[in-house]
Amino acid sequence: MLSIAGIANSIHQWLNETFSSGWATLLEFVLVGILVISFFAFLGLVLVFMERKVSAYMQLRVGPNRVGYKGLAQTLADTIKLVVKEGLTPDGADKFLFNFAPFLVLIASMLLMAPIAFAKDFQIWDINIGVLYITAISSISVIGVLMAGWSSNNKYSLLGAMRSGAQIVSYELSAGLAIMTIVILAGSIRLSDIIASQENGWWIFKGHIPAIIAFVIYIIAVTAETNRAPFDLAEAESELTAGFHTEYSGMKFALFFLSEYVNIFIVCAIGATLFLGGWMPLHIGHWEGFNHIMDFIPSSLWFMGKTFFLIFLIMWFRWTFPRLRIDQLLNLEWKYLLPISLFNLLLVTFIALMGWYF
Amino acid sequence: MSFLIDYIRTVYKSVRSLLIGMRKTGYYFTHHKEIITQNYPENRDTLNLPERFRGEVVMTHNEANEHRCTGCTACELACPNGTIKIVTKFDITPEGKKKKALDTFVYHLELCTMCNLCIEACPTSAIKMDQAFEHSVYDRRLLTKKLNKPDSKLMEGVE
């Protein structure tokens, strides 16, 4: 049967037959790098267009509808504009940090692509500490944001970066605790094991109430971590013009913009993997016939469908809720999400010990 | 204990209000007939402007080419940015008396902010807001308009 994993395997075999194993590995590195970069570009185009259309329909507008068929080429035209534009570096800026920051943010996003399972047996690197790797790497991007804010030599950028730092650091706690819930239920931090443990039902159904609470907390926390409305104080357009990327233009701005959307994709992909079973089709207990029909839908489609459903959910939040103040933001985290997720962790540990999940 | 009940109530109330908001935007997302923006250049003939849309100030004239402006300059005084300039003349009434009347109603469209204050100030309802909005021209002198039509007179009985 033709599958993504099959294609990957045949390429791997062909490379190993044609070249020595060292060269084959090197070529595979290059191939994976090219694939990840082109996937980033594709994601940027698709997600920006999706966001503009979703926001338009939620605000009773039509959205982009002039460039190309139904406006589909709009984001392509925007990208060309950004590539052609001059990338200005302010005179008072710290040149090295200023030019390095967008790449750091993007590299952090690229590293996060490694453990994500896009389809059955199709994963760049099935590392045995997958969940730990994800939580560790995702906190690197805040350094890039702080770098950008500091080196811009602009008070709005610095304020935005500081807000962003406070926000990401505090919301990582509840995101981590929500992930821990699933780690306890699945009994492993290797992502392929977590997906395999959902073969007879996704954790959001099998783990009933604690899993649902953890899912809601995870979605709220990652919305804050990706600096999106209603938690977009870091780049609050109306107060700080654009926050940490005020001084960026051209391609360097585009890299920040791209990494924002790629981060959304990544957190949604991880959410889909942990709570909605990743590439695992919808299986219900021992309904053999039903499970068999669901298996006919390709695993990559299941993964993309779930991820884009979560992305849509986050976009829905953005275009519905008003922005929080900084005190409300920290209240929400420290007074509500953190106690609830700690209690939830206790509850799920008890449930896992008693074996009360399905 | 009451602290805990308050805490849970706050969580419940806030989640509920957020879900109400999401239901509204979700409704708009799925019901495209609610969209209020229009594809402008294509639907130029069937353009549906809101009732209170303001495009420019015009002076109403009846079929006999008569207007209702007495030249009292109330609109000129009401205008916050000097858009209106009224030039008056003296008419000779049948009794042989001199009477102040409107000569030229100068309207600078390029200065107008469509604030509607002149229309509210007018004691005789001589001017009103029109909905025409395609005002672009190549020379800004063309935006200085004379609102009273040539040879128009004051309507009978308007003081």
- Each domain of chain A, given as residue ranges in start order, spans 84-354
**Residues B123-134: pLDDT tens digits?**
888 888 888 888
pLDDT given at position A237: 67
Given pLDDT bands bounded at 50, 70 and 90, which one contains residue A249? Answer: confident
pLDDT given at position A358: 67
pLDDT given at position B16: 92
Q: Which residues of A touch B26 (CB under 8 A)?
A: 316
pLDDT given at position B138: 92
CA distance A62 to chain B (A): 7
The C-alpha atoms of residue B36 and residue B27 are separated, in whole angstroms, by 14
pLDDT given at position A72: 85
**Residue that wins the pLDDT comparison between A299 and A239:** A299
In this model, does residue A3 exceed pLDDT 80?
no
In Å, what is the CA distance from B144 to each residue of B57, B67, B79, B105? 12, 20, 16, 10
Give the lowest-confidence range in A256-260, A286-290, A322-326, B107-111.
A286-290
Whether B28 sits inside 8 A of A65 (CB atoms) is: no
CA distance A65 to chain B (A): 9
B23 touches chain A (CB under 8 A): no
> What is chain A's mean pLDDT, rounded?
84
Whether A320 sits inside 8 A of B36 (CB atoms) is: no
**In the block, which residue shows the tokens 């402006």?**
B69
Helix (H, G, I), strand (E, B) or coil at B146: strand
CATH number attached to the domain at B56-154: 3.30.70.3270
CA distance B124 to chain A (A): 40
**Residues A124-177: pLDDT tens digits?**
888 888 888 888 888 888 888 888 888 888 888 888 888 888 888 888 888 888
pLDDT given at position A113: 86
The pLDDT of B49-55, averaged and rounded, is 87
Residue count of chain B, please give it.
159
The C-alpha atoms of residue A143 and residue A102 are separated, in whole angstroms, by 11
Residue/partner pairs of A35-41 with CB below 8 Å, 24 or more apart: A36/A110, A36/A113, A36/A124, A37/A110, A39/A113, A40/A106, A40/A109, A40/A110, A40/A258, A40/A262, A41/A258
The pLDDT of A277-293, averaged and rounded, is 78
Q: Which residues of A touch B37 (CB under 8 A)?
A: 60-62
**Residue of chain B with shortest Cα separation from A337:** B11
pLDDT given at position B20: 92
Distance of CA B152 to the CA centre of its chain: 24
Residue B124 is which amino acid? T
| Separation of first and last alpha carbons in chain A | 32
